[in-house]
Amino acid sequence: MTRAVLVTGASRGIGAATAEAFAAAGDRVAVHYGSSPEAAAKVLSALPGSGHVLVQADLADPEAIRTMVDEAAAALGGIDVLVNNAGVYHPHHIRETTYAAWQQAWADTLAVNLVGPANVTWCAVRHMRRGGRIVNVSSRGAFRGEPNQPAYGASKAAIVSFTQSLARALGPEGIAVTAIAPGWTTTDMAAVNLAGEGYDRRRMESPLERVADPSEVAGAIHYLASPEAEFATGTVLDFNGGSHLRM
């Protein structure tokens, strides 16, 4: 069965790989981007199959989100799967950041990483029927702490709580909601931390002695959005290569 899939932040990294995974399975994908039209268009043009569409919105702008989601739903004939992947990552250690920069980092991070996905979800659910799936991309940082970017860690922890709340709210409608918490993954966002000696240090955090490829995370997202994973609703899949283990 062909599904209509909206992936936010799909111009690169995990989002681009996720769009590819769904398209390869025969689904129609709305490739969302915020500020990289050329990269998003490249992702779109490389997707297998047909019926895909490019949509744009600043996730800090609620009205832009509403327009974007409605455009995606109109082009795809509804929304069966939503993947809230888009996110930002601003370093702001509490001892090394001015008060003004501290406030800005929190405002910018929460706007895109938490409030944005909440608004996208509100809009998308209006187009979603029984059997719908929502997968929220959290992070290992939600559980281990992020000393150099605390707003990022807090936003990703809040996404987990948001996932659990929605799983209970939407379950009676047959809509399942899950989250995935990746560790280090070879994306543009992580590139500065995975350069040079940083790569060896980060890969050795995992007993597998490597970091993840975006396609691996995308494969897990595709599974969480599958009919077979319905009973996993409300859960968080740790996907960090054993680099951070929790009960």
Q: Which tokens hold the place of 38? A: 């050329």
pLDDT for 199: 83
pLDDT for 31: 98
The strand pair at 28-33 and 4-7 is best described as parallel
For 134-168, write each residue's pLDDT tens digit: 999 999 999 999 999 999 999 999 999 999 999 99
The strand pair at 53-56 and 133-137 is best described as unpaired
pLDDT for 79: 98
Q: Which tokens hold the place of 83? A: 């993947």
Task: Output the CATH code of domain 4-239.
Answer: 3.40.50.720
User: 152 catalytic, yes or no?
Assistant: yes
Q: Which tokens hold the place of 205? A: 């955090």
The torsion defined by the Cα of 12, 244, 207 and 215, in degrees rounded to 10, comes to -20
The series of mean pLDDT values per 10 residues for the chain, 247 residues long, is 96 97 98 97 98 98 98 98 96 97 98 98 98 98 95 98 98 98 85 78 91 96 98 98 94
In sequence order, the β-bridge partners of residue 181 are 238
For the entire predicted model, the pTM comes to 0.96
Residue in 33, 99, 152, 223 annotated catalytic: 152
- Alpha-carbon gap, residue 58 to 44, rounded angstroms: 19
pLDDT for 210: 92
CB of 159 closer than 8 Å to CB of 151: no
pLDDT for 37: 97
